[in-house]
Structure 1
Amino acid sequence: MSATAGAEEIDADEPVTVLAVDDVPQNLRLLDATLSPRGYRVVTAASGSEALDVLPASRADLVLLDIVMPDIDGYEVCRRIRLAPATRFLPVVMITASGDQERLRAIEAGADDFISKPFQREELLARVASLARIKRYHDTIERQARELAAWNAELEGRVTAQLEDLERMGRLRRFLPPQLVDLVMDSHEEDFLASHRREIVVVFCDLRGFTSFAESSEPEEVMGVLSEYHHALGGLIDLFGGTLERFTGDGLMVFFNDPVPCDDPAERAVAMAVAMRERVAGLIAGWERRGYRLGFGVGIAQGYATLGRIGFPGRSDYAAIGSVTNLAARLCAAADAGQILVAQRVFSAVEALVEARPVGELDLRGFSRPVRVFDIAALRRAEKGTKP
């Protein structure tokens, strides 16, 4: 490739900057007259110290450096260029009038190439083009390395954020329905999980005879029954938009109207309980064929509670604290197999939608006054099969 072709290829992006250093003005003018017409940008320095001063701001791609200068000679300038991290790979061409000894000292100082005085125009252009091209390749590699490092940092940040989102989603899915988890993830807001007070409807359910069954059965059998039971009920909790507070073996506590309010919490709670009873009835039939005597009972209460996230970093739950949760649990404990016992406030909210019978006033542990209770037999025909 000719020197002219080399220069034209380099100029395709932007002019190559050459820092020419010589204490003889005539030599600097000659270098400028040779390089500028070929599209090079020439910056000049009349001494070694001036060269070191202008180098940082010059954005030089290459240095043409005379050796013999009065203040700082070319060897020392080259050594200082090599010591600075920003210029240690900057191509340096020594301009020398001497022989092999001077070339050896130039190599030891860090020079990349040599041009003999008086220089040949075509040789100068060829060497400058070659080293400038290498410098541009090096700059490209460094730029790509920086871009790659930035991309890696961005990717690491995204992966970290995604892992945090997955962990956050996993925590939320433990007690919230999927549609609400999606809402929280999209909004990136969890303020509603902070401690607050709200009226809720609490559903507590468990299996009749489970304690006796667990005592007389192998652990694998117990785990198998619980797995079937939880799988049967879990989908219904999501379907009706309930918030799962906890599993306690065969006991499940679900509440409505928090953390996201709904217009019909009592209706949703009762409809879910009826659907649960129907689904567990199929399981009970199968369990009976295996010799397991189990039943299903539900208690539902309505009232105010304090709700919020409890726990410690890395392990937290969303809990409801208040007498309404205790009342639902006591009603569940009082229910016979197949019964759904609800307190007066719940019955008043769903009376037109259900078939029920009064149980009477029950004395429940932890409550100073008798509680008026109703047994939900079924949803009225118009309501059967409806979804929230």
Structure 2
Amino acid sequence: MITILVVDDEPDLEPLLLQRFRRQIRAGQLAFLFAHDGVEALSLIESHVGIDVVVSDINMPRMDGLALLERLQQTDEDVSTVIVSAYGDMANIRSAMNRGAFDFVTKPIDFTDLETTIDKTLRHITRIREARQRQLDAERAHAALSRYFSPNLAERLAIDAQRLNGGERRDVTSLFTDVTGFTKLVEAIDPTVLAALLNDYLIGMTDIVFAHEGTVAKIVGDALHVLFGAPGDQPDHASRAVACALELDAFAEEFRRRWSCDKGIDVGATRIGAHAGPAIVGNFGGGRFFDYTAYGDTINTAARLESANKPLGTRICVSANLADRVDGFGGRPIGDLLLRGKAEALRAWEPLSEAALADPATRSYHEAFAKLERNDSGTIAAFAALVGQRPLDGLASYHLKRLLNGATGPRIDLAG
């Protein structure tokens, strides 16, 4: 319902208006209030919530229409004003329009003209309300989306948050992170210290994700689930994911060093797993919550690759399906992993930074792995020499141990 306040000192105007707009009044479309001057009008505006339109004469006792209009401009009241004045009083009408009046009608009042003017004013109010609602919806959406998406993407999506509802099948890269031994750490340190540590860690990690325009689908404790290629198209989502993984790893290692040196708290290594392929993505919050997430084998495989880092001695483990999509991918082959729930093994890689790729030990690893694939008799010696050079190389140590226990070839069963 639209409420119209009519401010005029002519006693005959009230019954005429009520008669003219009786159908709209009975239908509950319009309601009228009446005041005889600006002072009475301000009192009514203060006591009645939801007055939408003020139709005011200019010439009135105590407070005229121009003074009323000026007072309305000084308040937070959101009303549209229509000024009524004699045709010859165009100076006052111009003054009223300059002070913010939406429109005017002339005296003697032509009720057909007044009805047209009121209809136009109501359409104006509707447009303003719809625009403000869209703005409010966008602000609320932006606040929610900023938890998941980079600032630029959140701003774009907030304009049309409805596009995220439901599900769609997309080609994506799924990336999982997890901190080793975090549960034990939670039990061992003061809650206030834990809060500071976790906030420091998650802010740094999510800033990196957003810098690569990734989507944070989930944060559970210290763990992140990140998507590339959704909700917007990213033809290079695989490259973004690998670059992001390397930067996340570098940050996490520096984070560990900093908290160990500065606070004396030993934080476990961050393990990262990633895989590319089809997934169903969308907002699956049931209409009550915003929960942008993804489902499918691609997601499950990425999560299992993250877990595979623990026995393998690596920090980053990605599928060959992902690595093959990245131009100039650089890393070390891990082996053909048989993951839990999988019938076939999948080739996995450890991405490396440019500095690690240039390390002579990386070439030695490639040579040792080539012997492993050929079942060369010198495989054990090659990995033993590598471990002798780099005792902290977890992946080389893992291969040496399994070879000494009688394993052969690159197939690694992690399904048990």
What TM-score do the two structures reach when normalised by structure 2? 0.55
CA deviation string 1:318-346 (max 9, x = no partner)? 01111111111111111146521011201
Alignment partner, residue 227 of structure 1: 199
Q: CA separation in 2, counterparts of 1:282 and 1:380?
A: 16
Say if 1:204 and 1:253, in contact at 8 Å, map to a contact too.
Answer: yes
Give the structure 2 partner of residue 164 of structure 1.
Answer: 137
Contact 2:272 2:306 (8 Å CA) reproduced: yes
Partner of 1:344: 320
1:274–1:379: 8 Å Cα contact kept in structure 2?
no
Amino acid at match of 1:183: R
Contact 1:353 1:379 in 2 (8 A): no
**Corresponding position of 1:361:** 336
Q: Give the Cα separation in 1 of the matches to 2:238 and 2:133.
A: 41
> Which string of whole-angstrom CA distances, capped at 9 and with x for unpartnered residues, describes residues 33-71 of structure 1?
xxxxxxxxxxxxxxxxxxx89x959xxxxxxxxxxxxxx
Rounded to whole Å, the distance in 2 between the matches of 1:88 and 1:175 is 55
**2:164 and 2:283 in contact (8 A); partners too:** no
Hey, what's the Cα distance between the residues in 1 that align with 2:221 and 2:203? 13
- Aligned residue for 1:255, secondary structure, equals strand
Counterpart Cα distance in 1 of 2:79 and 2:36: 23
Name which of 244, 250, 254 aligns with 2:226. Answer: 254
User: Across the two proteins, how many residue pairs are aligned to each other?
Assistant: 263
Counterpart CA distance in 1 for 2:352 and 2:36 is 87
Q: Distance in 1 between matches of 2:59 and 2:323?
A: 86
Structure 1 residues 140 and 249: CA distance shift in structure 2, 3 A: same
Alignment-derived partner of residue 352 in structure 2: 377
What secondary structure, in the 3-state scheme, does the structure 2 residue paired with 1:341 have? strand
Local SS of the residue matching 1:301: strand
Q: Aligned to 2:328, what secondary structure does the other structure show?
A: helix
Q: Which moved more, 1:241-250 or 1:281-290?
A: 281-290
Contact 2:323 2:329 in 1 (8 A): no
Give the drift of 1:219: 2.7
User: After the TM superposition, which residues 232-251 of structure 1 pair with which residues of structure 2 at under 5 Å, given as runs?
Assistant: 232-251=204-223
The whole-number CA distance in structure 2 between the counterparts of 1:339 and 1:157 is 51
Query: Aligned partners of 1:225 and 1:146: how far apart in 2?
Result: 52
Distance apart, 1:140 and its partner CA: 5.0
Between the aligned partners of 1:56 and 1:293, the Cα distance in structure 2 is: 80
CA distance in structure 2 between the partners assigned to 1:133 and 1:347 by the alignment: 80
Alpha-carbon distance in 1 for matches of 2:293, 2:337: 27
Contact 2:177 2:225 in 1 (8 A): yes
Q: Which runs of 5+ in 1 are unaligned?
A: 1-18, 20-51, 58-83, 90-131, 383-388
Q: Conserved in 1, the CA contact under 8 Å of 2:279 and 2:297?
A: yes
Q: Which structure: larger Rg?
A: 1
SS at match of 1:335: helix
User: Is 2:325 the partner of 1:325?
Assistant: no
Please say if residues 271 and 379 of structure 1, whose CA atoms lie closer than 8 Å, have aligned partners that are also in contact: no
Q: Which secondary structure state, in structure 1, belongs to the residue aligned with residue 341 of structure 2?
A: coil
Deviation at 1:156, TM superposition (A): 7.9
Given the superposition, is the C-alpha separation of residues 209 and 160 from structure 1 closer, same or farther in structure 2, using an over 3 Å criterion? same
Call closer, same or farther: CA 1:226–1:139 in 2, change over 3 Å: closer
Q: Which whole-Å CA distance do the structure 1 matches of 2:271 and 2:33 have between them?
A: 77
- 150 and 262 in structure 1: CA distance in 2 versus 1, 3 angstrom threshold: same
2:246 pairs with one of 274, 279, 287: 274
Q: Which amino acid aligns with 2:285?
A: G
CA separation of 1:219 and 1:144: change in aligned 2, threshold 3 A: closer
**How far did 1:192 drift?**
4.5
* Alignment match, 1:211: 183
Question: Cα distance 1:192–1:168, how it changes in 2: closer, same or farther (>3 A)?
Answer: closer
Match for residue 173 of structure 1?
A: 146
- The answer to whether the Cα contact below 8 Å between 1:233 and 1:276 also exists between their aligned partners in 2 is yes
Amino acid at match of 2:147: R
Partner of 1:296: 270
Q: Percent identity?
A: 23
What is the Cα deviation at residue 368 of structure 1?
2.7
Distance 2:242 2:324 in 1: 12
What do you get for the CA RMSD once the two structures are aligned? 3.8
Against the structure 1 CA distance between its residues 352 and 86, is the aligned structure 2 distance closer, same or farther, given a 3 Å change threshold? closer
Q: Which has the higher contact order (CA 8 A, sep 6+)?
A: 1
